[in-house]
Amino acid sequence: MRLGILVSGRGSNLGAVLDAAARGDLPGVEAVIVISNRPGVPALKVAERHGVPVVVLARRDFAGPEARDAAIGSRLRLAGVEVALLAGYDQVLRPTYFAAFDGMTLNIHPSLLPAHGGAGMIGMAVHCSVLAAGDRETGVTVHAVSAELDAGPPRLQARVPVHPDDSPETLAARVLEVEHRVVVEAIAALAAERERGPSSATMAVAPESVPPDAAARE
Ligand code: GAR
């Protein structure tokens, strides 16, 4: 399963996936390209360290977001990508992306979607929203991406407790640890499912699991 990964920043989920592949925990999965919409971000170094080719497609190099998103989709297609993973990618993908790339796109989101998803819900904003709501648990969702924000069907969810004395930072750290495990599990499950054939597409459930990004401006 040829995997492409879209990033915008730190790249810890990217690192978790590439480390797992290097350990042999993702049989049949090959990371073939990493695309960033931001130059100079740490995620690019993570990819380089693992020898995965990187491409930067910055908004300023295109007439508009539609053209940039078409370019992202084309690069994925040219690289022979079958599954694209949004790993901290901080922009909504426009329809031009889905027109150019017809493989599956997955996103990792740091809450139990549909809770705390949608416009502006990225990274720390998600954890602030969970604490402001007084939720006693949050979690991680890996879901298929459709043109509608944070609305594609979930493939894997895992619960994470919220502690009474949590700050956004302590909660983010607890959730991130689970993200790193769940994103690898979701990719491994998808690869195994594709190996078995198309009929086995069901939502996987982690042991402790419960059955747009209009995001940051560039
Ligand atoms: C992760 O927590 C990821 O779930 C979140 O951004 C962070 C990126 O960290 N994504 C979203 O909020 C998507 N709506 P990373 O760059 O270290 O993987």
**Topology of the domain covering 1-102:** Rossmann fold (3.40.50)
**Domain coordinates in residue numbering, the chain:** 1-102, 108-218
Q: Is the CB of 117 under 6 A from ligand 1?
A: no
Q: What is the pLDDT of residues 7-42, one digit of tens each?
A: 999 999 999 999 999 999 999 999 999 999 999 999
The architecture CATH gives domain 108-218:
3-Layer(aba) Sandwich (3.40)
Q: What is the pLDDT of residues 165-174, one digit of tens each?
A: 999 999 999 9
CA-to-CA distance for 204 and 58, rounded, in angstroms?
35
Task: Give me the pLDDT at residue 213, please.
Answer: 38
Among 32, 85, 35, 73, residue whose Cα is nearest residue 55: 35
Q: What is the pLDDT of residues 52-96, one digit of tens each?
A: 999 999 999 999 999 999 999 999 999 999 999 999 999 999 999
Q: Atom 3 of ligand 1 has which residue's CA nearest to it?
A: 88
pLDDT band for position 197 (cuts 50, 70, 90): confident
Cα of 9 vs centre of ligand 1, distance in Å, is: 9
Q: Dihedral of CA 121/190/200/72: which sign?
A: positive
Mean of pLDDT over the chain = 91
The best mutation among 5, 7, 12 to test binding of ligand 1, ranked by most ligand atoms within 8 Å of the C-beta, falls on: 12
Q: Is the CB of 10 under 6 A from ligand 1?
A: yes
CA-to-CA distance for 126 and 169, rounded, in angstroms?
11
Domains 1-102 and 108-218 belong to one CATH topology = yes
Catalytic residues: 109
CA-to-CA distance for 193 and 201, rounded, in angstroms?
7
Q: Is the CB of 9 under 6 A from ligand 1?
A: yes
Cβ neighbourhood burial of 151 (10 Å; 0-12, 13-18, 19+): middle
